[in-house]
Amino acid sequence: MSELDIPESHPRYESLLTRHRIEEGVEKGITSKQGLIAEGRGEAFDYLLGEQTIPSADEAERVAAAHLLLADHPVLSVNGNVAALVPGETVELAEVTGSAIEVNLFNRTDERMRAIVDHLEAHGADDVKGLSADARIPGLDHERAKVDRDGIYEADVVLVPLEDGDRAEALAEMGKTEIVIDLNPLSRSVQTAAVPIVDNIIRAVPNITAHVRELADSSDGELQEIIDAFDAEEAQTAAENRIRSGRLD
């Protein structure tokens, strides 16, 4: 079954879509086999969220939009799952916010890096970063430490989609504002983030883009007010409570 064969009326449409994209990502050499496991874990959390963007997540997505609009050097970090699930959506978000896109992988090989860059370029991306790897994130001893100096290393705001706890902590130590998209409200990424978005990435990225378009004419002061009113701990707690209750309404 291809993506085009999945009817949008199917009650499990979103779930089937993500499974198909991840499977296709593995076949293309974009997503690692570990990414399959990560996707399954995320799907379990999403099921308990009711497979919908809860109000606290939508608020966080609006705050993320404000941060990206105010940033001097925003960067969207992409791993294999992100590239497989939301390539076009990531490119669109980069375009409306003036963000750079950088590929950053734990299971890094030259072949995977090139495949992901090519995949993003096929979806309209320009000047995808990550191949130079001419800088390192302090405190990390694995491949995620490798970043481009003019990308993640010098960014002031970084969107870190999907669970990536140790790098999230290291980036926070560098003083960067982190926006995290992660379906696990107890992950280190969410606990560390200035803006924790507990939502499925295939909903979250388009939602952030929609909020960017809505806020595009706002003044810096108005954007800062949106940011200042946000409570990251409350957002994380609201998501955790929703998942623990398991309400499907």
pTM of the shown model: 0.90
Greater confidence (105 vs 8) lies with 105
Question: What is the tens place of the pLDDT at every residue in 209-230?
Answer: 999 999 999 999 999 999 999 9
Greater confidence (3 vs 156) lies with 156
Question: Could you give the C-alpha distances from 38 to 43, 110, 162, 208, 229, in angstroms and in order?
Answer: 9, 22, 9, 22, 32
Question: Could you give the C-alpha distances from 217 to 5, 69, 220, 241, in angstroms and in order?
Answer: 39, 10, 9, 35
Please say if the pLDDT value at position 99 is more than 80: yes
**What integer pLDDT is reported at residue 24 of this predicted model?**
81
**What integer pLDDT is reported at residue 136 of this predicted model?**
95
Place of tokens 């998942």: 243
**What integer pLDDT is reported at residue 51 of this predicted model?**
87
> Comparing C-alpha atoms, which of 112, 122, 116 is closest to residue 83?
116
Alpha carbons within 13 A on the beta-carbon side of 14: 15
Greater confidence (35 vs 238) lies with 238
Question: What is the tens place of the pLDDT at every residue in 145-159?
Answer: 999 999 999 999 999
**What integer pLDDT is reported at residue 107 of this predicted model?**
81
Sheet of 195-197, strands arranged across: 100-103, 74-78, 157-161, 177-181, 195-197
**Across 38-42, 105-109, 239-243, least confident range:** 38-42
Residues 124 and 96 sit within 8 Å (Cβ to Cβ):
no
Question: What is the tens place of the pLDDT at every residue in 56-91?
Answer: 999 999 999 999 999 999 999 999 999 999 999 999
Residues 144 and 137 sit within 8 Å (Cβ to Cβ):
yes
Cα separation, 166 vs 177, whole angstroms:
15
> Comparing C-alpha atoms, which of 198, 189, 131 is closest to residue 164?
189
Domains annotated on the chain, with CATH: 55-245 (3.40.50.12640)
Which residues contact residue 23 at a Cβ distance below 8 angstroms, ignoring those fewer than 6 apart? 36
Token pair belonging to 97: 């916010």
Task: List the Cα angle 198/116/177 in 5-degree steps.
Answer: 40
* Neighbour-count burial of 232, counting CB atoms closer than 10 A to its CB (0-12 exposed, 13-18 middle, 19+ buried): middle
**What integer pLDDT is reported at residue 5 of this predicted model?**
64
Helical segments of the chain, H only: 13-27, 33-48, 55-70, 80-85, 87-97, 110-122, 165-173, 188-192, 201-215, 220-228, 232-245
